[in-house]
């Protein structure tokens, strides 16, 4: 079975790229109509601000660790903790962020699989 072709992408630590934010690494896979951003974020990392997307829906799946964040109205103070195998949905215009990334016991990382539709140009990797 050939698993090394243009349609199959697998976990490979070397494929994760450092970002401008300390403790944030990502791997981005972009299709015509959707995009997967696989984040590996060091537990305790900071730098997530409240924001929204006017042109992109975002669906996030927590694979490891926990995401403690705010989602809803821009001024909401309510925090939600998303644990492994749980999902959040940020439709167009919904504010989210101010995140606390809780690392898991094995890697001390929070792994988030963010799906965007349509793809975000600022996340495309060459």
Q: Please give the pLDDT value at position 4.
A: 59
For the chain, which residues make up each domain, given as ranges? 13-123
What is the pLDDT at residue 90? 97
Is the four-CA dihedral 92, 123, 86, 101 of positive or negative sign?
Answer: negative
Question: What CATH number labels 13-123?
Answer: 2.60.120.10
What the block records as the tokens of 24 is: 């944030």
Query: Would you call 52 helix, strand, or coil by DSSP?
Result: coil
- Total residue count of the chain as it appears in this document: 126
- Predicted local distance difference test score (pLDDT) of residue 126: 44
Q: Which of 106, 93, 1, 86 is nearest to 54 (CA)?
A: 93
| Angstrom distance (rounded) from CA 36 to CA 9 | 11
User: Residue ranges of the chain with pLDDT lower than 70?
Assistant: 1-6, 125-126
The token duo for 62 is: 């927590």
Contact 112, 88 (CB under 8 A): no
């Amino acid at each position: 079975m050939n698993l090394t072709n243009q349609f199959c992408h697998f976990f490979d630590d070397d494929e994760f790229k450092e970002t401008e934010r300390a403790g944030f690494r990502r791997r981005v896979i972009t299709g015509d109509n959707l995009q997967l951003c696989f984040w590996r974020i060091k537990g305790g990392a900071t730098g997530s601000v409240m924001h929204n997307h006017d042109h992109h829906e975002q669906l996030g799946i927590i694979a490891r660790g926990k995401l403690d964040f705010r989602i809803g109205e821009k001024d909401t103070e309510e925090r939600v903790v998303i644990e492994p195998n749980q999902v959040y949905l940020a439709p167009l215009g919904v504010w989210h962020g101010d995140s606390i990334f809780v690392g898991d016991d094995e890697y001390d990382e929070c792994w988030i699989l963010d799906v965007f539709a349509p793809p975000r140009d600022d996340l495309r990797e060459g």
